[in-house]
Amino acid sequence: MSKNLKEVSPTPLKPDERPISYNPRKILGIEVSTTTVVHALFKLQRLSIVPMALYFPVHAVNTMITPLVNPETAPDSFLTAVHKWVPQAASKILIASLLTHIASGVLLRGWKLYKSHVLKEKYHLHHQHKHTTSQDDIGLTGGISGYLFGIYKQFTLSPLSMSGYVLTPLVLYHLLIMKWVPESLGEPATGFDFVKQLLRASEWWIRWFAGIIPLSALISAASYHIVAGACRLLDVKDMKKRKNASRIISGLSIAGFLSILRLSNAKSFSSDWSQFNDIFTKLNFLRT
């Protein structure tokens, strides 16, 4: 039997074929390992989308559809109706879930980069990226959303992750001007009257760089991240279904941009621009 054995040169295992080490540490009597922490972060990131997923259809109707119907009164009327039905704590829950989603995503991204760096340093292995239709590589359908099939291979960042990094500062800016800064000034959160004032500002650079451009980018990035994220969560691999999802994203983005244009031409029922001036003075956009 031993005569049939043949000696071969040792070859290292591929990083993704190595068994996951399990070296738990006890914290307050509970065994905690890197693996359990990473899995917990994945679950936390997925659970954090539930409040946002429930609120998104309502917010989408109010920002992308009602301004197309009647930019003068429909958005404010719809918003008033929503506030009557939605609990006051809803905004706090949404912000908490949003911050949780961002924080867990950043931590997971940091861990992935660290793990990749350690494996390359330790085993001196370099993976060659193969052509694939995975959503991680090319987005939903490739093309522009997939970085023309090439940028992912250079930056190791999926289109879904990239849309999240683009979306984060836009959402924070949206919260600043619509909620946090007004409340810090002792004023109520702003409504659509403020958006109309912003989009009709006399200073063209405020109208474009503080209004039209960031709001349009916010709608497009949010549409991509939410719809593509849903496809990823539901493990949609069929290219036909992903193309339909891509059409939905395009439709939402176009509707959002048209709504912004409609709001920019709508009359504001409030002639008091003091809140507008106070908010942008606080952000150092306007001189006192």
DSSP state of 144: G
Whole-structure pTM value: 0.76
d(CA 191, CA 213): 19
- Give a yes or no: residue 70 inside a domain: yes
Residue 30: its H or E element: strand 30-32
What distance lies between CA 111 and its chain's CA centroid? 19
- Give a yes or no: residue 191 inside a domain: yes
Residue 249's domain spans which residues? 48-108+136-286
- Give a yes or no: residue 39 inside a domain: no
- Give a yes or no: residue 34 inside a domain: no
pLDDT at 284: 76
Number of domains observed in the structure of the chain? 1
Percent of the chain residues past pLDDT 90, beyond the cut: 24
d(CA 255, CA 263): 12
If DSSP codes are grouped into helix, strand and coil, which group holds residue 26? strand
Name the burial class of residue 56, with classes exposed (0-12), middle (13-18) and buried (19+) by CB atoms within 10 angstroms of its CB.
Answer: middle
Helix 49-60 × helix 34-47 angle, to 10° = 20
If DSSP codes are grouped into helix, strand and coil, which group holds residue 241? helix
- Give a yes or no: residue 230 inside a domain: yes
- Give a yes or no: residue 15 inside a domain: no
Residue pointed to by tokens 């949003």: 98
- Give a yes or no: residue 10 inside a domain: no
First-to-last alpha carbon distance for the chain, in angstroms, is 91
- Per-residue model confidence as pLDDT tens digits over 79-121: 777 767 777 778 889 999 999 999 998 898 888 877 776 666 5
- Per-residue model confidence as pLDDT tens digits over 190-244: 777 788 888 888 888 888 999 999 999 999 999 999 999 999 889 888 888 988 9
**Whole-number CA gyration radius for the chain:** 24
- Give a yes or no: residue 5 inside a domain: no
If DSSP codes are grouped into helix, strand and coil, which group holds residue 269? coil
d(CA 16, CA 186): 54
